[in-house]
Amino acid sequence: MKDKIVALEREIIKETIKTSDEQEKFRIRYLGSKNIIKELFLEIKNVPNEEKKEVGMLLNNLKQIAKKKHDSFVPEARSKDKKQTLDKSRPAEEYKLGSRHPLSLIRSQIIEVFSRIGFVVSDGPEIEDDWHNFSALNFPPEHPARDMQDTFFIKNSNKDMSLRTHTSSVQVRVMENESPPIRTISPGRVYRNEAISPRAHCFFHQVEGLYIDENVSFADLKQTILYFAREMFGEKTKIRLRPSYFPFTEPSAEVDIYWGLKTESDYRITKGTGWLEILGCGMVDPNVLENSKIDSKKYSGYAFGMGIERIAMLKYGVKDLRLFFENDVRFLDQFTSGI
């Protein structure tokens, strides 16, 4: 048996491989499914027990020699004398570049604007319990937002769960786990049970901001919003605040920017007023602070929230909200330069 192995080893070493065909023949004879080395392995059962270990090692070594010989073959390179078929004077092939989604562009821009004045980004779960989505934010049990018409509720045997209807739930988690001063924004996707139309969708994106410290006033809120509006829409942008109502802020306001009345489109989208709503805001209700174990007598704060789609529609002149979610390449290609 040992003599057979030695003889086969010499045979393999003497083999010469010059072409791919010869390499394939070598593989079939020594490494194929019915190769000659495998046949020797089958004969081990006839070897005396005291020699089986040594013979097995010799056969494994023989197999490695054959594999190394097979893998060492490198096909011959094309002759340098052959005529070149590649025209090196041709311009390089242009690779088609992708682009960032318009909502991602606006989200990043909003984050960058607020980061300049000390706001940090906070994140939280999209599936929320009743406390963080409603109760901690001063939503009374009878509030319409708790109704099935507005919220996607999730069946859970332990507690009431739902897809978050706003990113204010993230702010509650921040207030529960951090001590003032708090200065944070919470961008993310939210869900509401609404009919899909050019102006509404069952899911969209928000950025909500929160600032809590000693002696925070409504004037601080107004200056922050004015700074944001001018960074996003131009340094000459004008804003106005209209009284409004939100359960988690008091007083509350809607913020408009002056869009102008230069074109027919301006008249149409502003309904002839020249003003466009961009966000809601207000001073954090003391009940919300107390729900998060923050002393409302010592600290005050403001909060604001805006839809990213709303800002993107204004910035890019998009008239149909659904375009942001349909993945139409013709639409997305228009933002290639915004990488």
Residue 69 or residue 122, greater confidence: 122
Tell me whether the omega of the peptide bond preceding residue 102 falls within 30 degrees of 0, making it cis: no
**In residues, how long is the chain?**
339
pLDDT at 22 over 70: yes
Q: Which of 36-45, 172-181, 254-263 has the highest mean pLDDT?
A: 172-181
Q: Which bin fits 274, alpha (ψ -120 to 50), beta or left (φ > 0)?
A: left
Mean pLDDT lowest among 88-92, 270-274, 282-286, 322-326: 88-92
Mean pLDDT confidence for 68-91: 65
Task: For residues 106 and 50, state if they share a domain.
Answer: no
The reply to whether 39 and 112 lie within a common domain is no
Domain annotation covers residue 16: yes
Examine residue 193 and state whether it is found in any structural domain, yes or no: yes
Q: What is the pTM of this model?
A: 0.67
Q: Are residues 145 and 277 in the same domain?
A: yes
For the chain, the domain total comes to: 2
Q: E strands within 39-181?
A: 120-121, 127-129, 153-154, 161-163
Q: Does 131 fall in a domain?
A: yes
If residue 22 lies in a helix (H) or strand (E), which one and from where to where? helix 20-30
- Average pLDDT for 119-128: 93
Residues 184 and 329 in one domain: yes
Which pair of tokens denotes residue 247? 């359960």
The reply to whether 84 falls in a domain is no
Backbone angles phi and psi of 280, in degrees to 5: -115, 155
End-to-end Cα distance, the chain: 70
Q: Answer yes or no: do 49 and 106 share one domain.
A: no
| Domain match, 171 and 263 both | yes
Residue 145 resides in a domain: yes
How far is Cα 231 from Cα 113, in angstroms, rounded to an integer?
A: 7
Same domain, 182 and 260: yes
Q: Residues 180, 299: contact at Cβ < 8 Å? A: yes
Q: Find the CATH number of the domain harbouring 263.
A: 3.30.930.10
| Residues 7 and 137 reside in one and the same domain | no
Give residue 42's domain range.
Answer: 2-71
Are 170 and 281 members of one domain? yes
Nearest Cα residue to 168 out of 45, 252, 261, 51:
252
Instruction: Say how far apart CA 315 and CA 178 lie, in whole Å.
Output: 35
Q: What angle do CA 219, 220, 225 make, to 5 degrees?
A: 95
Q: Are 184 and 171 in contact (CB under 8 A)?
A: yes
pLDDT over 70, % of the chain:
91
Residue 78 lies in a domain: no
Question: For 194-239, how does the pLDDT look when each residue is reduced to its tens digit (9 = 90+)?
Answer: 888 877 788 899 999 999 999 999 999 999 999 999 999 989 999 9
Show Cβ contacts of residue 124 under 8 Å, excluding neighbours closer than 6 positions: 132, 164, 167, 169, 170, 173, 186, 188
**Beta strand spans in the chain (E):** 120-121, 127-129, 153-154, 161-163, 182-191, 203-213, 239-246, 249-258, 275-284, 300-307
161 and 273 housed in the same domain: yes
Mean pLDDT across the stretch 243-265? Answer: 90
pLDDT at position 268 over 70: yes
* Over residues 253-271, mean pLDDT: 85
Residue 85 has a pLDDT of 66
Q: Are residues 20 and 128 in the same domain?
A: no
User: For the chain, how long is the longest CA-to-CA vector?
Assistant: 103
Find tokens 């996607």 and name the residue: 152
One domain for residues 10 and 114:
no
The mean predicted confidence, pLDDT, of the chain is 85
